[in-house]
Amino acid sequence: MPELPEVETTLRGIQPYLQDATITDIRVRNPSLRWPVPVRPLQKLCDEKISACERRAKYILIHTDRGTIMLHLGMSGSLRVLSVDQPAGKHDHLDIELNQQHILRLNDPRRFGCCLLLKPPVAEHKLLANLGPEPLTDAFNGDILFRRSRGRRVAVKNLIMDGQVVVGVGNIYASEALFLAGVRPTLTAGRLSRARYQRLAECIKLVLANAIKAGGTTLNDFTQADGSPGYFKQELFVYGRAGEGCLRCSTTIKAKTIGQRSSFYCPACQSF
DNA sequence: CTTTAGGCCTGACGGC
DNA sequence: TGCCGTCAGGCCTAAA
């Protein structure tokens, strides 16, 4: 489910409750996620103060002096901040109690998400060490994309979804960015020009920034930390619109499976 | 090294 | 109403 804009939206929603809060309890109801939730080590964080929280790629990192909680929402995860007395429901895997007042609750029906405890240096953790640059920073640009694409025979859509090239671009925004850039998603990554990658990098930044502004994309189950949906769905040009008319030229949007993921494009607008 | 396929799960939906 | 196949926003891992 969540791509970078949804994770960023979630972070912004929970941040005010987390920053400087003391963890007063951690309750794990169902430790079964992508990897087992380390219940005992996590509970040692009780009475610790949260010094900072941040997003890296699609991970949310909650720092304390005794370790960093790393959360990932997988395909179907969501985080909500609730008052302590809210009863738990189906797929509510764990609560992090804050100041005996609120709880940060992780719900994840499909269990592709995770909750791990990291020791410093956090950046050297296996899951973080090889990640590419953040797309919304200057560390990511067309030159990076161009360089990392040389010799690659995968489709350009797969390249921009490769977390070692650039993080946070998931299946929705990959299709959207390629549409904005006018680039056909099926093209071989290694054959695109530097100029095309300059444009593509700009479009990736644009589509992600705009999606964050709209509070993310709600298709089925994504909600912000307060339970409200994201509104970027109204701004999607191609994702999920196979058979419908292109919003720019009315040509019928096509769907195609690329690298086992459904992809959408306008055959007329995306001719490069 | 790059690339591909498999797997992890639940739930929603469409066809019969 | 129910059963079945298909599909879904991610991403690690093993194997080719």
Q: Which residue has the least CA–C1' distance to nucleotide B2?
A: A152
Nearest to A148 by CA among A163, A127, A126: A163
A87 is catalytic: no
- Answer with the residue of higher pLDDT: A1 or A240: A240
Residue where the block lists tokens 């009863």: A87
Q: Cβ atoms within 10 A of the Cβ of A104, count? A: 26
Q: Cβ atoms within 10 A of the Cβ of A125, count? A: 16
Catalytic-role residue among A6, A8, A55, A58: A58
Model pLDDT, residue A163: 98
In tens, the pLDDT along A86-144 reads 999 999 999 999 999 999 999 999 999 999 999 999 999 999 999 999 999 999 999 99
pLDDT over 80 (residue A220)? no
- Asked if residue A262 keeps its beta carbon closer than 7 A to nucleic acid strand B, the reply is no
In tens, the pLDDT along A231-250 reads 888 899 999 999 999 999 99
Secondary structure of chain A: what % helix, strand, coil (to 5)? 30, 25, 45
- The gap between A78 CA and B14 C1' (Å) is 27
Model pLDDT, residue A1: 63
Provide the b/e sequence for A50-86 (b: ≥16 CB within 10 Å).
beebebbbbbbbbbbeebbbbbbbbebbbbbbbeeee
And the tokens for A186? 């099926």
**Averaged pLDDT for residues A219-229:** 81
